[in-house]
Structure 1
């Protein structure tokens, strides 16, 4: 199956039509560079909060670092206050901090939804419209495209995706991405690709689908099922940055897929750690951040518990080199893990919301204390 590479966000073509979803603590400059070394697409940095950006929180400013040559520079904002969101976008435009802005209306984390943010926000349609329209207007003078990412709704009784998509389109967004789960589902169950198809049928702007893309062939199936213009990949690439090579091949109609032996995986792990050390400016900090990735890289490989544990406690690149040298480089890729979920999985649950949030859809007031003062998961 060959898919046209016609997707673009404003002046920026996205070819293949693949977007790396922002993931807290994961999609930093090092991981994005590693993924780009394996395949093309658009790679979004970790979500940052509008208030923290406007107030120049040092951690937030570090999080929006981009590698030299990284284009387009894609930044995701989380905000609940239309005024602060507009100021954040104006700052990005005035200081040339990014080439593309994505607005987060999909986060299901309680600390976000209980403030009325993330996947809770589209329920308040007037507030949602003010945020999106203000961001688009602030970005327009510089030609910076604004997109949104959202979920189906709060829960099955409070779906928002169809109306929110139309509101965003009318406000002038360049594209809309939909994760086919509600906030109440969190990361449980299966993604509703029928909802993604429904949204695609309703909108004229490009629609991207997100949810349960574990392999490149899943992306092709989603396109065939929903008609979407592109896909958003999150947990499927954890410990597998070469998935982007598979996606590029799949969208070009080529059959090859990357199945690295353990020696090649070890080399990728070393490269990831090296990039993290450079990004953090500290060998210890970079190696400490790398630890969370070890289990994902080694998923399905017959590596003993003691060696796994040691790798997940590394503090220096020399220590990492020594431990990686103990792996069997000829061990073939564990094909039985293909198609399996990766990263966090959890049970569905009640969504934390501000008091009285569901009572009205047309209240556009900003919940008290809604704006988070710092960024990061």
Structure 2
């Protein structure tokens, strides 16, 4: 395993209200990715806060089975963290109470950053902070519901809807006034989605604007990027999403980097296949072998990004149905093949193009100060994060 130049960052932790995270690193919730198996896999690599897939507040309150199925935790998951989506203060408050009282969560994150059209068209996700009154009411309800359980509430947002409708500074002020423990900022607008480069200067501006901790999100592909973001912006920590796809060992690198230790970044293909096998094993343990293997298929291209594995091998791995099939195929890969330098520092996962128009409820931009103006999400809606 090759090593990079040791960083100079001091050991640090992250404080979110009553919760202390040993390493200032948060795994961003990703729909269909950050299930209990993947969270454990990442946690086995290094300390951090590992957040469950985003769930809908109404789905939880009304007992939707799909929502309940997402709220599964590994037996070694000692700090339960969940991201909650909602547009109705009453539902969000009640859902926060349920998470604390019935699921024993130690941290709740509220999603105000999702750019998916089916979310923004209902005034949710990254569209919601435009309604300052509604944002404040939702935050206050959630904080109040979680307070008796001493559970900190944080929020994640984006710069704004587009460059003409920025919301992050107002959102930071409202979050602080509402008792939110920290705010995470993805340095892109909803219109950008995942395209272009993240604006770290906006993260720095938010740090200067509020007194609560700010977490930076966007374009952290290597551990060195996290150190650079913290140094450039003054952020209290980082949120990592697409950068860890097919690379759960990134959290080991991040833990080492924030401790000022050497960072291991170049696993051989043999080490990568061992991680793939462990991932599939955990998925099968939680979901059963048939479904677990199907869930694993989506991760194959991320794990093998840049390696010489041919198209037929990739196709075969993308069709595995059993762990035995997986073992047989992985055994045919060259364990000594070095990690591809071309994959270092490169974007992973979806990127896409900027959107010409963000889908919003009719008249949404007419009044930024309206409270109680929202379009209700469906109880059984599976909202991507």
TM-score scaled by length of structure 1: 0.98
Q: CA deviation at 1:376?
A: 4.6
- How far apart are the structure 2 equivalents of 1:45 and 1:325? 32
Q: 1:371 offset after TM fit, Å?
A: 4.4
Question: Which of 248, 255, 270 lines up with 1:263 in the alignment?
Answer: 270
- Kindly indicate whether residue 75 of structure 2 is the aligned counterpart of residue 68 of structure 1: yes
Displacement, 1:93?
Answer: 2.1
Aligned position for 1:162: 169
Secondary structure of 1:254's counterpart equals coil
1:313 aligns with 2:299: no
User: Gapped runs of 5+ residues in structure 2?
Assistant: 1-7
- Aligned partner of 1:327 in structure 2 is 333
Task: Output the CA distance in 1 between the equivalents of 2:41 and 2:115.
Answer: 27
Work out whether 1:200 is the aligned partner of 2:188: no
Cα 1:256–1:4 change in 2 (3 A) is: closer
| Structure 1: tracts of 5 or more residues without a match | none
Residues 70-116 of structure 1: CA distance to partner in whole angstroms, max 9, x if unpaired?
12100000000001111101112221431100000000000000000
Q: C-alpha separation between the residues in 2 aligned to 1:102 and 1:205?
A: 15
- Number of aligned positions between the proteins: 376
- Residues of 2 paired with 1:374 and 1:316: CA distance? 30
- Cα distance between partner residues in 2 of 1:121 and 1:249: 37
Q: Structure 1 residue 136 and structure 2 residue 143: aligned?
A: yes
In the alignment, the residues of structure 2 paired with residue 90 and residue 256 of structure 1 have an alpha-carbon distance, to the nearest angstrom, of: 40
CA distance in 2, matches of 1:225, 1:368: 38
User: Which of 20, 41, 49 matches 1:42?
Assistant: 49
2:62–2:379 CA contact under 8 A, matched in 1: no
Moved >4 Å (runs of 4+): none
Say if 1:323 and 1:376 are closer, same or farther in 2 by CA, change over 3 A.
Answer: farther
Determine the structure 1 residue equivalent to 2:3.
none
Correspondence list, 1:142-221, <5 A: 142-221=149-228
Query: Contact 2:139–2:178 (CA<8 Å) still a contact in 1?
Result: yes
Q: Residue 258 of structure 1: SS of its match in structure 2?
A: strand
Which residue in 2 is equivalent to 1:284? 290
Contact 1:175 1:208 (C-alpha < 8 Å) held by counterparts: yes
1:15 and 2:19 are equivalent in the alignment: no
Task: Give the counterpart of 2:250 among 219, 243, 252.
Answer: 243
Q: C-alpha distance in 1, partners of 2:105/2:295?
A: 25
Residue in structure 1 matching 2:91, options 73, 84, 87: 84
Verify: 1:31 aligned to 2:38, yes or no: yes
With over 3 angstroms needed to count, the CA separation of the structure-2 counterparts of 1:352 and 1:372, relative to structure 1, is farther
Say whether the 8 Å CA contact 1:80–1:371 is kept in structure 2: no
Which residue of structure 1 aligns with residue 346 of structure 2? 340
Deviation string 1:178-202 (CA, Å, 9 cap, x unpaired) is 0000000000000000000000011
Q: Report what 2:301 is aligned to.
A: 295
Query: Which whole-Å deviations, capped at 9, do the CAs of 1:215-273 have from their partners, x for residues lacking one?
Result: 00000110111010000000000000000011011111112323111111111101100
Q: Please, what TM-score do these two structures have when normalized by structure 2?
A: 0.96
Deviations 1:282-309 (A, max 9, x none): 2110000000000000000001110111
Deviation at 1:372, TM superposition (A): 4.8
Q: Please tell me whether the aligned partners of residues 158 and 186 of structure 2 are also in contact (alpha carbons under 8 angstroms).
A: yes
RMSD value, Cα: 1.1
